[in-house]
Structure 1
């Protein structure tokens, strides 16, 4: 049963019409109908409104497909460890540092299944609390370095979800603040990750030439980076170079990504923020770059094979990558295949609150329409 159906069933079990529910929730009757039928994406505040109006526990109303959003909702309504500690006024010790590090990991993995529009307020609040703790709490120097690393990692995630939500200026400011925290913590690889994340945004919505320069600077500055971290930074060089239409630099960077990734070793520790980088992700990036430099036929098989292995709950990535499959088909002259791929991407996107995804779908749709008219 879908989540919208659960809301409808709970309302009907309570003997309420849509009109009566509209009076209790202050949402309009057509709006509620769209939520219950799945024509509008369900958000945590909608489920909360039904819970309060019907006296039904949240757990009853949430379906399995919204499990990540339920987790996000619980994060929103609970105090952060930093806030709890500030209220108690204790000296920061190892246990709090460990708990904050664990929460960064949990938030980072939530980004796999939740769009930036939903995750943004949670990460922003967590980052603000961590920054306040670093500024005002007392702690020993080793604990301080760990806390600064937490701030840097939260800043990277906050910048990422801000960008996904279309808040580009805020993302840039957050990334740069995170660089300062990472530098103070002595974590040059993390500083490189923050700068290369900013270069990725610039490549997409700014000046690709500036993005390529920034990405190369991030690689050079991240001395001592592990193989996977280094490969991730090189991927951003490849993407910015491709967006800047520098074919040779793109190919060199992609070769460097392959070589660096293959040099990894089980005995060499990797930062947790590289957990998602694997062969499939590298193939997707290679395919995207090939499309940008005019080789769409080579790109489609790479991306399609990677998408086929994605878990169903990774809806945003699946939808995003299918838009590149659609673009590859369109630029190869296969417009029917392009329309079919984009239709699947649009279907996947209905459950994701991501401005980046919506902008991307609209751009590919416009491109397909333009190519159709020109034939």
Structure 2
């Protein structure tokens, strides 16, 4: 049935008209079905983006939306015709409810600019600490700071301007705390933290910060979840932050490129890399921008470019980029250096240079031995498994004897 509204677009419209989140709709459908909850936000997301059809759930959708089931059936038939899926927005990824809702009666002390400045200082300190102290060793401090900041917001009184600045500080704190939780391997906790921060940035009206949070979540989902959902997240972050500073745009587009790469979409990944490169060239010293962008540089973009080339099995492009960056990288940042070495080892293996790959992997594993990072642990195993293809090479055999691949 051509010309009708497809089921995904209809569900999205009906949900938004009622002011429900995707999680709200999933919960209402589970209640309507009267059984053990089987749906979550991911199911609704897939329906709305046209990746799944909710055939068995049409009666329950009709009940919760209070529409005739025939309307939904016609929309399902219309969905068989090629129709562009609705483009997700940042708002689609907000958490269920309002995790920052103030208490009914705020009775705490009144706070002002000095309190927010103190919080911002601690956030920056945590961000700098993450350069040299990693996931499992830093997660406790990060979570304590975030809980304290949320409690401060919910229980204190303040002016509208102070409240907005406090929300921005919470958003920045959630971004680094989410990153640390992910580095500690606590991916579900990291997602909750990122979404809390996204809510704070959204309420503060800070689109640039919202883009950073959603892009950070997209990066995690690219690596441990559904890469296609990560593409939608990363693209929503980049599309809504069109007026963000150049380095922020470059960062968001880098995450778009990585999500496409993990989804096996080579051409979109390469286009996003090109757009990220164009964005970073627009940055000039003195440009007004958030402090959390301090680490974004052409060298970091070269690393992402090399990682994309490595995943796409183009080692002749990846190896020179990685060698150039590694020659100049700060050795005190052990986690990042180890991660970059892991990509170099993979690229060398693809280039049929197992001896060089083994030497690079050995350096990477020994460097990360005392790094409390789930990321480096995981990358070490990826590299070791790749090198099992060369187990007959003496250098590789020696490495695998000392550090066997597991899993």
TM-score range, shorter chain: 0.7 to 0.9
Structure 1: how far apart are the matches of 2:229 and 2:119? 34
Q: Tell me the CA shift for residue 312 of structure 1.
A: 2.1
Residue 20 of structure 2 corresponds to which residue in structure 1? none
CA displacement, residues 218-272 of structure 1 (integer Å, 9 cap, x when unaligned): 1112242111001000000011111111111111011101100001123421111
Q: Tell me the CA shift for residue 351 of structure 1.
A: 2.4
CA displacement, residues 128-177 of structure 1 (integer Å, 9 cap, x when unaligned): 00000000101111111111011101111111011111001111111111
Structure 2: how far apart are the matches of 1:234 and 1:372? 38
- Local SS of the residue matching 1:225: coil
Match of 1:125 among 144, 167, 170: 144
Contact 1:335 1:372 in 2 (8 A): no
Range moving further from structure 2, 304-313 or 124-133: 304-313
The answer on 1:161 being equivalent to 2:163 is no
Structure 2: how far apart are the matches of 1:357 and 1:152? 26
Residue 116 of structure 2 corresponds to which residue in structure 1? 97
Structure 1: segments with no counterpart, 5+ residues: 1-87
- Local SS of the residue matching 2:185: coil
Q: Please state which structure has a larger fraction of its residues in helix.
A: 1
Structure 1: how far apart are the matches of 2:225 and 2:323? 28
Aligned residues between the structures = 288
Contact 1:158 1:174 in 2 (8 A): yes
Q: Tell me the CA shift for residue 371 of structure 1.
A: 4.5
- Local SS of the residue matching 1:270: coil
Structure 1: how far apart are the matches of 2:242 and 2:279? 14
Q: Tell me the CA shift for residue 342 of structure 1.
A: 0.5
The RMSD of aligned alpha carbons is 1.6
Structure 2: segments with no counterpart, 5+ residues: 1-106, 397-407
CA displacement, residues 178-216 of structure 1 (integer Å, 9 cap, x when unaligned): 100001111111111111101101111111111111110
The answer on 1:321 being equivalent to 2:340 is yes
Q: Tell me the CA shift for residue 89 of structure 1.
A: 5.5
CA displacement, residues 40-83 of structure 1 (integer Å, 9 cap, x when unaligned): xxxxxxxxxxxxxxxxxxxxxxxxxxxxxxxxxxxxxxxxxxxx
Runs of 4+ aligned structure 1 residues displaced above 6 Å come to none
The answer on 1:282 being equivalent to 2:301 is yes
Residue 309 of structure 1 corresponds to which residue in structure 2? 328
TM-score, with structure 1 as normaliser? 0.74
Contact 1:188 1:223 in 2 (8 A): no
Structure 2: how far apart are the matches of 1:371 and 1:242? 25
